[in-house]
């Protein structure tokens, strides 16, 4: 599935994610993002967050450590360091999260190093899911 309009691509990606993973225990956001959880073939917990907002690109957020083997660069990706969290002043005088708000309360993605992929097709998603499904068990420190 290539050359789909953004709404059609996002719908196809959501349908694929709905088939491959379950809704995260904290649920989806109504308009902006879907949160998912699944287990790798080695029973490692995997979390994903997809931005379904029609105003954004087709962004998929994943734990950086779990996609380290996906290094061919064919899918545009941007690294987000956990060190950059809470560095932006908030209106209330504190510091704000600094990433998509749907990520903040997720168990594994909320405060970790992440990669945000820009999906151009369902095949891009399938390539990432394939890598995530092969994630080996390394203990909780490796997640």
Q: Do 119 and 60 touch, CB atoms closer than 8 A?
A: yes
**Which of 22, 134, 118, 120 lies closest to 67 in space, CA to CA?**
134
Give CA 95 to chain center in angstroms.
Answer: 23
CB proximity list for 27: less than 8 A, separation 6 or greater = 35
Predicted confidence band of residue 141 (pLDDT cuts 50, 70, 90): very low
59-93 pLDDT per residue, tens:
999 999 999 887 677 899 999 999 999 888 888 88
117-126 pLDDT per residue, tens:
999 999 999 9
Q: What is the 3-state secondary structure (H, E, C) of 35-101?
A: EEEEECCCCCEEEEEEECCCCCCCEEEEEHHHHCCCCCCCCCEEEECHHHCCCEECCCCCEECCCCC
16-71 pLDDT per residue, tens:
999 999 999 999 988 999 999 999 999 999 999 999 998 899 999 999 999 988 76
pTM of the model: 0.89
Instruction: Say if residue 143's pLDDT is above 80.
Output: no
């Amino acid at each position: 599935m290539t050359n789909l309009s953004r709404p059609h691509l996002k719908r196809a990606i959501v349908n694929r994610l709905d088939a491959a993973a379950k809704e995260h225990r904290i649920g989806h956001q109504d308009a902006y993002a879907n949160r998912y959880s699944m287990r790798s073939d080695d029973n490692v917990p995997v979390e994903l967050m997809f931005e379904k907002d029609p105003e954004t690109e087709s962004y998929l957020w994943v734990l950086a450590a779990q996609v380290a083997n996906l290094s061919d660069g064919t899918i545009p990706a941007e690294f987000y360091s956990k060190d950059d969290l809470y560095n932006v002043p908030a209106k209330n005088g504190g510091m704000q999260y600094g990433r998509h708000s749907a990520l903040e309360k997720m168990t594994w993605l909320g405060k970790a190093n992440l990669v945000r992929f820009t999906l151009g097709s369902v095949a891009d998603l399938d390539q990432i899911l394939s890598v995530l499904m092969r994630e080996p068990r390394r203990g909780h420190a490796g997640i």
